[in-house]
Structure 1
Amino acid sequence: MKKLEKILLISVFLYSAFPTFAQKASWIWYPGDFDIYMSNVMQNRRTERGSFFPVFWKMDSHYVLVDFHKEFNLAQAEAVKLFVEGTYNVKIDGQAISGFPKTIQIPAGKHKLSLKVYNQAHVPAIFVQGKTIVSDETWLSTFEDKEWIDASGKTSDKSGTTFLSAGSWNMTDPQILPSQFKLPTVPLSAINKANINNGYLSDFGKETFGFIKIHGLKGKGKLNIYYGESREEALSTEKCETLDALDIDLSAKRDSVMPLSKAFRYVNFQPENGVSADSISMLYEYAPVTERGSFRSSDTELNKIYDVAKYTFHLNTREFFIDGIKRDRWVWSGDAYQSYLMNYYSFFDAPTVKRTLLAQRGKDPVTAHINTIMDYSFYWFLGIYDYYKYTGDQKFVQDIYPRMQSLMAYIDGRKNKNGLLEWMPGDWIFIDWADKLSKDGEVSFEQLLYARSLETMALCAKLANDAEGASKYNQQAKALKDKIFELYWNQNKSALVHSRINNQQTDNVTRYANMFGIFFDYFTPEQKLAVKKNVLLNNNIAKITTPYMRFYELEALCAMGEQSYVLKEMKTYWGGMLALGATSFWEEYNPDKKGAEHLAMYGRPFGKSLCHAWGASPIYLLGKYYLGVKPTAPGYESYTIEPNLGGLEWMEGKVPTSNGDISIYCSKKEIRVSSATGTGTLKIQSKTKPIAKGVEIKALTKGFYEVKIEKGKNYSIKYTA
């Protein structure tokens, strides 16, 4: 890099020399740009057997020229330091300062500070630090200022420019440029080593993720490193999914770290003659999220399932929520939607939700569904409203609403003559990995997600103060819901049929639309009971073998009060993986498979991911349907607690919120609750009226009671299960 470019890129001032400031600054950029940039960086790290493996969809880029500004009213003059990633100019009250200043003086009074930054290679970003003037998300930004100048040289004061609040990842060190962002690492060692051929096989004890570090590497020749989530994969030098093939030419010993992170439990280290190394270890790479949610119960196997689910989820929580750490490492919308829900009951890390939603959506114009998958566009909409429901962050909804409008306009433009969606060139209808699952015709599952997305659009339009849009989307949603039941409900089968072809219902009934209809609350009470009996509990309906859709199937059953049944299913399904030695949960599990069959997928012997985010769904199910906590107003301003032991003797745990945790203990005789937020309603089913000192217990119908939960108080209630 040329000397001048280095000077323009980063200030020469040392932050350590700064005085102590009253407010903390952060790097900022145009909203969504760094999310898009970093998702491009992360997703394009994918390799298969050393070959670059790019994504299947359009990748957008950041805006290369961005204007930032904020108005301040200073009681006294202030010195402000500027750090910029890119070429820039600075203006105070519209007057440019010559050169590329690193420190500026802003006089007392009301003033407007503006910086315009150009950067083709990286995201234009600024870091501004004064005593009271700091860069944060209250700054405004635009990628086109639409300014004009008249014949007198006067700059317009009515340009029609759209300004949005700046984006930030809370990067508070001005010496570390946003483009240099990396997740932290810690060193770890293998727990076992066995000699294999010219080298050895190292076992790190469980599924993990990071960079292999070679200690004391020396010699001239080739070095091959084969990675495996299983022992079989690491030993299969011809078929393992990931590897490093290196040419070594070192006369003296040197430590070397592999350039790309990998997922593995086993590492097959094979140097050729002439190459040697003292040992290998790893740098474990992780997202520094806080584990806030918890669950423990009388069932030790269930506790193990919860712990492994949380570990699985943490491994797949990186710069964004990704699908799996071995193979794709991409930001798939369907996978991420489930991760959001698990996140609300574990880390409650709102920034990772926002950055994932922004990265998935990218820029206008819309030319395809998100990830090219029709259902994945709909999950994206649902994820935004769920984010608002759990966090109460209306501003994010308002900021992203225009991107919601343009994506929905694209989808509305792809309806057929019946006003329904079906496959068109360029679409991928996914639904689930399942043999012989038809995607032909007008699939009911897609129409159901479409209706829910229109309802979401109406809710978000209201939050964005778009009354006309709210009315339009509400009307569309109601019309589509009516059409779904008119065209797909089969009275004889007591279920929604899977599809229509040539304007006729097919005979096929699958679980997908029917289970979503339950927790979307689209069915009447009678229809719910019929669907539960004739679909969900009917072994003649094709079973689901992926944790991805088991997530929704078990949620539907929990919503119908079948926690005892679901508990047995969790122990059978996730417990089945543990019985086979799983240390993280898989992309797919079929108990009918044997041995190495469990490792195969996509026609490859080791194609299956053994650490997949959608395998961690017990986190969500146990938090929402066993501990029983869910918000009834945005940000847990109000919420319900409806514990359901489901056959357990006792359980306890914490559910995190933006303002603190909600703690629950429940046995067959006592419920204890404390909360740091909102106003809750504890719902109790008891054979006799519950007893609690100094607590009002409201009787509803026979056997059902309610208790108001106020924040900061501890409740202990005796009841009869």
Structure 2
Amino acid sequence: MRLSPWPVSPRAIKTFILLCVFASLRLTSAAQTWIWYPGDYEIWLANQMQNRRTERGTFFPVFWKVDSHYPLMDFHKIVELNQPETVRIYAEGKYNIKLDGKPFEGTPAMITVPAGKHKLNVKVFNQATPPAIYVEGKTIKSDSTWLVTFEDKEWIDESGKTSDVSTTKWLQAGQWNFNTPAQRPSLFKLPTQPVQAVTSQKNGNNLLVDFGKETFGFVKLKGVQGKGRLTVYFGESKEEALDPEHAETLDRIDIDQKTSKDTVLQLSKAFRYINIVPGGSVKVKGASMLYEYSDLPDKGGFKCSDEEINKIYEVAKYTLHLSTREFFIDGIKRDRWIWSGDAYQSYLMNYYLMNDNATVTRTMYALRGKDPVTSHINTIMDYTFYWFLGIYDYYLYSGDKSFIVQNYDRMKSLMDYVLGRRNKDGLLEGLPGDWIFIDWATGLSKKGEVSFEQLLFARSLETMALCSGLVNEKDAAAKYQSLAADIKKKLFDYYWNEQKQALVHSRINGKPTDNVTRYANMFAVFFDYFNGQQKAAVKNSVLLNKNVPKITTPYMRFYELEALCALGDQGIVLKEMKDYWGGMLRLGATSFWEEYDPSKKGAEHYAMYGRKYGKSLCHAWGASPIYLLGKYYLGIKPTAPGYVQYTVAPVLGGLQWMEGAVPTPAGNINMYCSTSEIRISAPVGTGKLVITSKTQPECKEGTIVSKGNNVYELTIEKNKEYKVLYKAI
């Protein structure tokens, strides 16, 4: 969430409602497709994906509560026809059909709907997979305008009359892109394409195969024959693949075949290297793979005068694509799960690269699950808050108000759970069953009331205030706004230390500690919770202070660098990107890692969690340069939902030139910026180009207004190209 400050007043909420009218109108029509109860398919699909995880051949399920789909579903649509219409019905499950409350005999695959106004109901039962329907007629077609419920609360009185009054809550149907009858949702699989190995090296009977870079998919063994057990050890590094006792993932297969055959392993895996170890009389001629991927094209892009930054950007793109599967997952080797903190960062990167709304909403549905709420998301308190932050960011970047309307009840029940876990001071601390994560950092205290958790709590309450306003829940908006203000006040009353000029890390037994960490301080910078004096102080007392414990994960380095960018220190951040992400590249990384500590040597880099190869060498949170370069160097960000309004404030930060594209719901905002020229065009909304120049900029296509202190502004109208001549400071 990146509004500074957040407009949480009732007046501002009304403004936001008006701004989303454009976005809401464009959602009124939808393509013909398979439909289901919103969130149900996503939860089911997440269960299928997350439970593919294995460690050394052992099934490894998730740590948290697993929800399921509703098995009985009622779909309905009110139609008005000028003439009779023949309609085909396809369903995943047993079903019946009613027209104006009267059921058709049997289970017809085709019905005729007479001319006039009618209500069509399709009720479907399916315990194994989510009930779904595909309706195909000339004008009657299944799409997201159909209404759906899992409890129709229908009843019949003693006279046989069916009820015409009900408290049933109907939602708009969920859908994705299954747009033909044959594309049944339950049959979905990610696409694959064949990829050949780069090298193969014999070592006795064993065969070490290198695919040249980090990858993901199904191994295909060529020319397998003989009798015995064959073992394949997977490695993100050569050391891991050649270490049978410690390799994190493996497959063992019993072979008994006289003729030479190709064999495709059944489970997809992450690897660069595979070590094929045949037993008995088994022989293998070689190996290739079927690369498995989510087919999402890049819409955004970035290129600049620094080739190392260009390389970092390309590897960040590859890292994000590898970690984008049916959902945004954490890493491809070990967990392969949907973690809310990891996913939140993937959403932000996605908005500047692929801008795929469907993967965002699928992931948020899967993370939220069903009521009742019995624990924090992923059991982690901070991850619950990242879910709330993700909701509002999605609305800001997409303009899709309908998703908030559909999920508002789930937002309320999750926030009710959080509010019910406050202590006597109205603050949050870890209770039995809570995991306070924050970051992977040696010696990081999680005891007491941690300032970072209170800060995320305040931001989540602000999200609830905004979303309550969007669904016209005025009393709820006022309540959440008041709660957010109270937590923000306590944040500074309890945690701000004048002597240290920083927020301290925690409060234990009602007393603040002296410990200063980076987390709450850097988030408070880009949340705009600090005043100008506090921001300047925190920059020196925390962000640039070598005595404050360093961050070693790309996860939190993301936010540390964002805070510096928000303070205008892109020059510092550029050097940090080259040192940190460039450091991984200099060690041979082909995707970015879960954690990087430059002080480690050799195979030490692969260890984590007390395991020799426990670290993921392809982790979604390692791809953050995509977001930083798009938002803080190109400087493009929405300031109203769906880019109805936006700002462009380019900062070269030491680069000689840069160019790129940032995707919006209406297409790309394209920009080129050098030390003397800016060119920009946009297909959406009204933009504000902010220019810092030693001299008065020139632009023939628009009027440049001086704002003082060498800052100038130019209004950007859609579908118009602008060229600005200026002199960079």
Bin the TM-score by the shorter chain: over 0.9
Residue pair 1:441, 1:501 contacting (<8 A) in 2 also: yes
* Structure-2 residue corresponding to 1:332: 339
1:415 matched to 2:422: yes
CA distance in 2, matches of 1:442, 1:234: 43
* Structure-2 residue corresponding to 1:313: 320
Match of 2:281 among 259, 263, 274: 274
Match of 2:178 among 171, 182, 198: 171
CA distance in 1, matches of 2:315, 2:225: 39
SS of 2:327 mapped into structure 1: coil
Deviates more, 1:210-219 or 1:301-310: 210-219
1:54 matched to 2:72: no
Match of 2:196 among 181, 189, 199: 189
* Structure-1 residue corresponding to 2:541: 534
Match of 2:300 among 293, 313, 323: 293
Residue pair 2:701, 2:723 contacting (<8 A) in 1 also: no
Match of 1:677 among 680, 684, 698: 684
CA distance in 1, matches of 2:198, 2:267: 22
SS of 2:558 mapped into structure 1: helix
Residue pair 1:650, 1:666 contacting (<8 A) in 2 also: yes
Q: CA shift at 1:177, angstroms? A: 2.1
Q: Say if 1:23 and 1:53 are closer, same or farther in 2 by CA, change over 3 A.
A: closer
Q: CA shift at 1:116, angstroms? A: 0.5
CA distance in 2, matches of 1:611, 1:134: 42
The code of the aligned residue for 1:607 comes to G
Deviates more, 1:512-521 or 1:687-696: 687-696
Deviation string, structure 1 residues 52-81 (Cα, Å, up to 9, x no partner) = 001000000000100001011112211111
1:559 matched to 2:566: yes
* Structure-1 residue corresponding to 2:187: 180
The code of the aligned residue for 2:498 comes to Q
CA distance in 2, matches of 1:658, 1:572: 35
1:39 matched to 2:27: no
Residue pair 2:30, 2:144 contacting (<8 A) in 1 also: no
Q: CA shift at 1:602, angstroms? A: 0.3
SS of 1:275 mapped into structure 2: coil
Deviation string, structure 1 residues 518-549 (Cα, Å, up to 9, x no partner) = 00100110000000010000000000000000
SS of 1:664 mapped into structure 2: strand
SS of 1:82 mapped into structure 2: strand
Deviation string, structure 1 residues 82-115 (Cα, Å, up to 9, x no partner) = 1111111111111101111111111111111111
The code of the aligned residue for 1:598 comes to H
* Structure-2 residue corresponding to 1:459: 466
The code of the aligned residue for 2:561 comes to L
CA distance in 1, matches of 2:213, 2:439: 28
* Structure-2 residue corresponding to 1:323: 330
Match of 1:633 among 637, 640, 644: 640
Q: CA shift at 1:290, angstroms? A: 1.4
CA distance in 2, matches of 1:500, 1:449: 16
The code of the aligned residue for 2:379 comes to T
Match of 2:88 among 65, 73, 81: 81
TM-score by structure 2 length?
Answer: 0.95
Q: CA shift at 1:24, angstroms? A: 5.0
* Structure-2 residue corresponding to 1:550: 557
What pairs up with 1:108-507 in 2 under 5 angstroms? 108-507=115-514
Residue pair 2:455, 2:524 contacting (<8 A) in 1 also: yes
Q: CA shift at 1:254, angstroms? A: 2.6
The code of the aligned residue for 1:447 comes to Q
Q: CA shift at 1:249, angstroms? A: 1.5
Q: CA shift at 1:252, angstroms? A: 2.7
* Structure-1 residue corresponding to 2:10: none
Match of 1:570 among 569, 572, 577: 577
Q: CA shift at 1:272, angstroms? A: 1.8
CA distance in 2, matches of 1:197, 1:680: 65
CA distance in 2, matches of 1:160, 1:703: 60
Q: CA shift at 1:380, angstroms? A: 0.2
Residue pair 1:70, 1:112 contacting (<8 A) in 2 also: yes
Q: CA shift at 1:464, angstroms? A: 1.4
Residue pair 1:670, 1:716 contacting (<8 A) in 2 also: yes
Q: CA shift at 1:25, angstroms? A: 2.2
SS of 1:156 mapped into structure 2: coil
Deviates more, 1:268-277 or 1:193-202: 268-277
The code of the aligned residue for 2:353 comes to S
Deviation string, structure 1 residues 686-715 (Cα, Å, up to 9, x no partner) = 000001224211111131100111111111
1:519 matched to 2:526: yes
CA distance in 2, matches of 1:278, 1:488: 64
The code of the aligned residue for 2:502 comes to A
The code of the aligned residue for 1:664 comes to M
Q: CA shift at 1:23, angstroms? A: 9.0
Q: CA shift at 1:216, angstroms? A: 2.6
SS of 1:700 mapped into structure 2: strand
Q: Say if 1:543 and 1:159 are closer, same or farther in 2 by CA, change over 3 A.
A: same
Residue pair 1:229, 1:265 contacting (<8 A) in 2 also: yes
Residue pair 2:74, 2:121 contacting (<8 A) in 1 also: yes
* Structure-2 residue corresponding to 1:591: 598
1:27 matched to 2:34: yes
CA distance in 1, matches of 2:443, 2:109: 64
SS of 2:261 mapped into structure 1: strand
CA distance in 2, matches of 1:76, 1:683: 57
CA distance in 2, matches of 1:538, 1:252: 67
The code of the aligned residue for 2:563 comes to A
* Structure-1 residue corresponding to 2:666: 659
**Contiguous gaps of at least 5 residues in structure 2:** 1-28
The code of the aligned residue for 1:217 comes to V
The code of the aligned residue for 2:601 comes to K
CA distance in 2, matches of 1:311, 1:690: 38
- The number of equivalent residue pairs is 700
Q: Say if 1:24 and 1:430 are closer, same or farther in 2 by CA, change over 3 A.
A: closer
* Structure-2 residue corresponding to 1:13: none
Q: CA shift at 1:199, angstroms? A: 2.4
**Contiguous gaps of at least 5 residues in structure 1:** 1-21
CA distance in 2, matches of 1:282, 1:172: 29
SS of 2:574 mapped into structure 1: helix
* Structure-2 residue corresponding to 1:8: none
Deviates more, 1:253-262 or 1:202-211: 253-262
Residue pair 2:200, 2:286 contacting (<8 A) in 1 also: no
Q: CA shift at 1:48, angstroms? A: 0.2
CA distance in 2, matches of 1:702, 1:517: 26
The code of the aligned residue for 1:670 comes to E
Deviation string, structure 1 residues 546-576 (Cα, Å, up to 9, x no partner) = 0000000000000000000000000000000
SS of 1:310 mapped into structure 2: helix
Over the residues paired in the alignment, what is the CA RMSD in angstroms? 1.0
* Structure-2 residue corresponding to 1:624: 631
